[in-house]
Amino acid sequence: VAAVQVRKAVAGKAGPHYPAPPAIVEAVRAAFGSSPEQGLAVERELFADLAVDEVSRRLVGLFLIHQDSRRWYEDLESAAGPEVERVAVLGAGVMGAGIAHLAASGGLEVILRDVAPQALEAGMSRIGKQLHEQVEKGRLDAGDAGKILSRVTAVTDAGRLAHAQLVIEAVVEEMGLKKKVLAEAAGHAGPAIFASNTSALSVTEMSAALPDAGRLAGLHFFNPVDRMPLVEVVAPPSASPQTVGLLLRLARRLGKVPIRVKDSPGFLVNRVLSSYLAEAVAMVEEGFSIASLDRRMCDFGMPAGPLELLDQIGLDVAGKVTDTLRSAFPGRVPPGRLLAGMLAAGRTGRKGKLGFYRWGAGKPVPDQEGVAALAAGGSPGGQAREGHDMAGEPVAASDLPRLVYPMIAEAVRCLEEGVVSRPQEVDLA
């Protein structure tokens, strides 16, 4: 009975694509009621099969790429000058607060600046909540949490940026605002290095706001900042090698995996991902089931379905990135009005408690009827388009290429265009 329960629990966490966890359960079960030698014999047989299978081969390959990545940018990192100890983060929203939390956790002194006191209060509250959750889960000592929080100083005064060695811009994804914020900061931050956390906008265009374009590069963290290991370091032609190297080294110091990318719309990950997410939205607009689509992609191997992921990213952020890429690459990102309609209806995703899902204290619930009504051009509670059931059509295995192939094609294009210089960088990212 215990073995059955453990098998079920392990299967729920490991999913269908990783054979090692259930094999471990089987090896332990075999040792009960028999000799240790019998249990070890079963373990040897299971291990021998797993060690040479396709999953093991791919995981070992990714591990070796990860190890090798530490040497990819050694020349740039070694030429970057002294370590950064004082960082300013501009914008106290979800990303700004997340970056401030990460930097303070890495031992840096942080100035968190926003023009709105209420935004600063919300940002500091968000950091405090994350630290409290880490303490509750036993991942952090309460005393250490207090020290981390004490390293973050919330300010509205731009004059407090004077002692920052690095200024990270993390305001909303609008070019005009980003340039304005960077220009103002440059007037106070002296010889600091600047970085933008933009998801898709041109860092080269932003550099026009600074007196020295060589001191600006992109530092693209992913949401949630504390959990997502990847950081894209965006290297426009104008950025000095020292600026790029400093950001690569800092990302590694903060426990992240940095990838250097060319300044190109969407960079690498968002460009590849957007084709997939836009196709998923187009399928919902056609009448496919939200739950079925996400479940099918989770069964395929994704950690979350595309629609749940969009809610996690924020539909406003995703919409701006998609618009940028649609303008840059006409015909490559599926057209659609559903996302705009959802935003007009006040649906921003998880942070607003409503997107493709209804987000509450428990598990998110797909809002199929409300989204279907918006796809029909109406309002929640309206009618779905003729020929489509409000419950949504199930997604079949034969529909998977529609979602997966655009990602593969875009990844190849990124490699051909030199967005990154190695196939391994695409795989790792």
Are 368 and 390 in contact by the 8 Å Cβ rule? The answer is yes
Handedness of CA 335, 336, 337, 340 (dihedral sign): negative
Return d(Cα 142, Cα 136) in angstroms, integer.
9
Helices and strands (H and E) in the chain: how many: 19, 10
DSSP string, 368-399: HHHHHHHHTTS-TTS-PPTT--TT-BPPPGGG
| Catalytic-residue membership of 220 | yes
- Burial bucket for residue 153 (CB in 10 Å: 0-12, 13-18, 19+): middle
Return d(Cα 354, Cα 178) in angstroms, integer.
27
SS3 189: coil
Q: Can you read off the two tokens belonging to residue 7? A: 């098998």
Residues 17, 66, 220, 388: which is the catalytic one? 220
* DSSP β-ladder status, 257-262 and 230-235: parallel
Reduce the secondary structure of 64-120 to three states and give it as a string. HHHHHHCCCCHHHHHCCCCCCCEEEEECCCHHHHHHHHHHHHCCCEEEEECCCHHHH
Whether the ω angle into residue 330 lies within 30 degrees of 0, i.e. cis, is no
List the Cα angle 8/9/15 in 5-degree steps: 80
Are 307 and 278 in contact by the 8 Å Cβ rule? The answer is no
Cite the active site residues: 220
